Amino acid sequence: GAGVSQSPSNKVTEKGKDVELRCDPISGHTALYWYRQSLGQGLEFLIYFQGNSAPDKSGLPSDRFSAERTGGSVSTLTIQRTQQEDSAVYLCASSGRVLANTGELFFGEGSRLTVL
């Protein structure tokens, strides 16, 4: 596909379970971001991958959250021992260059996570 693809689109899980969210960025895009958006809130930065550089993990809210990007393409965000406050839409975005003045990120449609 031409756009950023995320899966699953919806995930309902029980508190304490682990979840994996997948992001397939636009082919050739070197930068990949994960954001979280809770109801009525702005986008909260989680993690940023740029090429082969070490990821910027400064936005991850706790050590239950981790992410990896294999082969410079697909990324997986893992949340261990989910809590109800983890319920949100997790958005992945990619960009074709190091964050520059274009500011244009291409977002996927998001993965809506509900923790019961």
Partner 1 sequence: RKEVEQDPGPFNVPEGATVAFNCTYSNSASQSFFWYRQDCRKEPKLLMSVYSSGNEDGRFTAQLNRASQYISLLIRDSKLSDSATYLCVVNEGQAGTALIFGKGTTLSVSS
16-24, 40-48, 63-71, 73-81 -> range binding partner 1 (CB under 8 A): 40-48
**47 touches 67 (CB < 8 A):** yes
The 10 Å Cβ neighbour count of residue 66 is 13
User: DSSP 3-state assignment of 21?
Assistant: strand
* Per-residue x/- track, 47-86, partner 1 (CB under 8 A): xx-x----xx-xx---------------------------
Q: By CB under 8 A, what part of segment 14-33 binds partner 1? A: 33
Q: Which of 15, 17, 51, 98 binds partner 1 (CB under 8 A)?
A: 98
Q: Does residue number 41 form part of the binding site for partner 1 (CB under 8 A)?
A: yes
Query: In angstroms, what is the minimal distance from the CB of 100 to partner 1?
Result: 8
Q: Quote the tokens at residue 57.
A: 């993990």
111: Cα within 13 Å, side-chain hemisphere? 26
Query: In angstroms, what is the minimal distance from the CB of 87 to partner 1?
Result: 15
18-26, 36-44, 62-70, 71-79 -> range binding partner 1 (CB under 8 A): 36-44
CA distance 26 to 16: 32
The 10 Å Cβ neighbour count of residue 83 is 12
